Structure 1
């Protein structure tokens, strides 16, 4: 398996409500969110099969959550991957809110 030549980069794409991880300028994965007041509700994370097994999902979520902190927002981990990541990385506990029925109903409405 060849190693990617470029360091993966993560960027927030506000108009698409997601963070994308790019490898050699190609989108390798994304984590999608919607903002609910001060909460950033993460609901889906995916990495393209061609880039699986390189730790990109973890890097993507790490940088996305760090951006949430810099933005003075709070994390709501509806996405199972984000929730699993948070279980292993307690440094985000202070800005993580529980997933509630209200949040899930709101998200359902947002996503139509």
Structure 2
């Protein structure tokens, strides 16, 4: 894994936010979310530019959201197809999945 993927930043703007990985040349991999309540948020969209393809950036973004949800006692609704697929692949995340 490259150094570019070492830091994931959280930008939280109240009801909207995103997790972002910034790379050389201004490339950004992001996962956006919408806050529904104090205990629930929706993963809306995940986008990984070609500069990050094959490096696990998308998975790292969703994993970070899962870790943050656990720590805060929140649940996630993964509306984004990529995030939903990751939840299917990771049954160990069921504790944060809103059923």
For residue 28 of structure 1, report the CA deviation from its aligned partner: 2.7
Gaps of 5+ in 1: 99-112
Structure 1 vs Structure 2 CA RMSD = 2.1
Distance 1:26 1:60, change over 3 A: farther
Matched length: 96
Quote the Cα distance in structure 2 between the aligned partners of 1:25 and 1:74: 34
Cross-structure match for 1:63: 64
Q: Which residue of 2 aligns with 1:108?
A: none
- Structure having greater relative contact order (Cα 8 Å, sep ≥ 6): 2
**Matched ranges for 1:1-112 at <5 A:** 4-15=2-13, 17-23=17-23, 26-37=26-37, 38-98=39-99
* Inter-CA distance 5–62: structure 2 relative to 1 (3 Å threshold): closer
Provide closer, same or farther for how the CA distance between residues 8 and 28 of structure 1 changes in structure 2, counting only shifts above 3 A. farther
2:8 aligned counterpart, secondary structure: strand
Asked whether the equivalents of residues 19 and 32 of structure 1 are also in contact (C-alpha less than 8 Å), the reply is yes
Q: Which has the larger radius of gyration?
A: 1
Offset of residue 26 of structure 1: 4.7
Q: Which runs of 5+ in 2 are unaligned?
A: none
